[in-house]
Amino acid sequence: METRGIFTREEIYSQPDSWIDGIEILRKNTKAIQEFAQSEDILQVIFTGCGSTYYLSCAAAAVFQEMTGIYSRGLPASELWLSPQIYHVLSGRTILIAISRSGETTETINACDAFRNKYGGRLMTFVCDPNSALAKMGAVNLIFPSGMEKSIAQTRAFSTLYLGVVGLGAIWAGKAPWFDQLNSLPLIGRRIVDNCSSKAEFLGKNLEFDRVYFLGSAGRYGLACELNLKMKEMSLTHSDAFHFLEFRHGPKAMVNQNTLVVGLVSEINTGHEMNVILDIQDLGAKIVTIGENNTDISFNSGLEEVMRNILYLPFGQMMAYERSMAKGLNPDHPTNLDSVVKLP
């Protein structure tokens, strides 16, 4: 019986079920989040993590600022730990939100310690492991055990933690109708996973593609970076991520007939983004677009754009998994990687 990749596949396909549990965690912690948000005047929010959760932090900062109007940014935990003075940490006026699947990553824990000890800042954490060090460090600790994984490359953990920060933004902003839209995501996510698996398999197994690019702008750029990371980790493929219009400024020199480009198309800027897609298509690349409607992979969700960004994730994850399997690799155990990075 084939056991290679069994954990990764299960974790990708079980994501919608994990989201159901994640929504309930948010609902139970609504009062604590509201009290945390209202306790003092905040000038900025910093989201931080490492690897996948750094990209999650970038995506989270974009949607959190859009929802709340509070200046937000995503930073690698190593940067915040080693060079905090560069990032204008404002004593008492900055909140740090640390995100980690394991809750044990050295850089993230050190960044949190430095933030609290040197700047007296308030901390919130998002983790999957309730017994981890990070799960006990914050004034509010949001724990999503349904996202925990056996495989090294994050899929279910990433999307479940991302759902958590989207829900955080809705609660913080006092947008109850937005929060209610979270309830629709598991069913829509299940439909997307079921309907798109064959297309993801077809593209993933096409080893004629020797380079893959993911395009996403605004709140989708961090998600494009994460899907690019999945393609690198699982399938050892040359891959990268760019904002849509930035792709014209140099990266398109890499495009040829062996190029696959995946566009995370927005609703607001569809015209500009599709013009980039057409330019790339004219150069011979294979194009796959993902978006709300009139795309190759369409959500047809009816949800607010800021609430449905999570739906971009499953297709790219499935494609990376299928490519890894087609190359004879084991996506559960990517080359040279560990599930938790601990420094001496």
pLDDT tens-digit profile of 259-292?
999 999 999 999 999 999 999 999 999 999 999 9
Q: Report the alpha-carbon distance of residue 215 to residue 324 in Å, rounded.
A: 21
Which residue is it, tokens 């750029």? 221
On average, the pLDDT of the chain sits at: 95
Name the β-bridge partners of 259: 211
Domains of the chain: 6-174 (3.40.50.10490), 185-326 (3.40.50.10490)
pLDDT of 176 reads: 96
Q: Which residues have C-beta within 8 Å of that of residue 243, sequence separation ≥ 6?
A: 215, 216, 217, 221
Interval 47-51 mean pLDDT:
98
Note the pTM of the prediction, 2 decimals: 0.96
- Does the pLDDT of residue 339 top 80, yes or no? no
Looking at the predicted structure, is the pLDDT value of residue 341 above 80?
no
Flag whether pLDDT at 342 surpasses 80: no
pLDDT confidence of 90, banded at 50, 70, 90? low
> For the chain, how long is the longest CA-to-CA vector?
58
The pair of structure tokens assigned to 108 is 């993230």
Sheet holding 122-127, edge to edge: 71-76, 44-49, 94-100, 122-127, 140-143
Query: What is the pLDDT, as a whole number, of residue 338?
Result: 73
- Looking at residue 117, what is its pLDDT? 84
Return the pLDDT at 1.
Answer: 59
Give dist(CA 22, CA 164) in Å, integer: 7
How large is the average pLDDT for residues 176-199? 97
Report whether pLDDT(116) > 90: no
70: part of which helix (H) or strand (E)? none
